[in-house]
Amino acid sequence: MLRGKLTEKESLKKLNSWHIGGAAQRSYRPADAKDLALFLQQLPADEPITWLGLGSNLLIRDGGIQGTVILTQGMLNTIEQLDAQSISVQAGVTCAKVAKFCAKQNLHGAGFLAGIPGTMGGALAMNAGAFGSDTWSIVRDVTTIDRYGKTRVHAADDFKVSYRHVELPKDTWFLAANLQLQASETEQQKAEIKALLKRRAESQPIGLHSCGSVFTNPKDDYAARIIDGCGLKGFKIGGAQISEKHANFIINTGNASSQDVENLIEHIEQVVLNEKGVKLQREVRIIGEKL
């Protein structure tokens, strides 16, 4: 018997960091990993499935998402220390919580996760990074689950990983990971996290509705520098605005639609291509249906 919560037509606006977008045709909050496996086993083979954690680095279109959305926010959130230098963490645990847990347990190497506004599932899926470090640099092995509820354990080197990209078989998602770290002094780790967060607050529009970085950085350059060089800081379409503080952030000023944001993303791409000859690559994922 299923123990999670199934909801029809749930609005996803409060479940993503832009606070925009439509509803999920169906959403499911699993009680735990076993419950999730059972739920997936009962779904039709052709049912579209989307995973949603904190909804950062994601644009959900105004028409919502067809099929079933697996919500991990507040779910699949177990974290534990395995030994003196490693921890186990499930996909729904926030990256910030992982950083704080490691600091408390005298473990070094995960401090950069404090600067990633998402869950470990999303961080694993896109090799999220901050402050010069990335997620897969500390991954020892992972557990995946497929659309049929089958779980498998893989070594980190089973995956082809690159900058903000991980090749994953279709209809397969990250359920958990074991992270390899190093012993450290607690106060040193806490000071490092505090310094990283201060640096982030000084350079990014923290506290405003955005998805984080919209574009990946081109080789040996920064997307924000290129966009700023085109004079686009502060440019608006509808309720969507390029941040005055960081040109690689798009802000929902309060009444933006997903279409406003998508139109602004396309505008940035076209201006940068025309003026700088650079084809920007999107870091944000755009999902769902247009109205």
Give CA–CA dist 284/46, Å, rounded. 26
164 is catalytic: yes
User: How many other CB atoms are found less than 10 A from the CB of residue 64?
Assistant: 21
User: Burial level of 158, CB count in 10 A (0-12/13-18/19+)?
Assistant: exposed
Which of 61, 164, 184, 192 is the catalytic position? 164
Give CA–CA dist 106/87, Å, rounded. 12
Helices (H), the chain: 33-42, 95-104, 120-126, 186-203, 223-229, 258-276
Which of 27, 56, 213, 243 is the catalytic position? 213
Give CA–CA dist 26/43, Å, rounded. 12
Give CA–CA dist 269/278, Å, rounded. 8
192 is catalytic: no
283 is catalytic: yes
Which of 10, 262, 269, 283 is the catalytic position? 283
Active site amino acids: 164, 213, 283
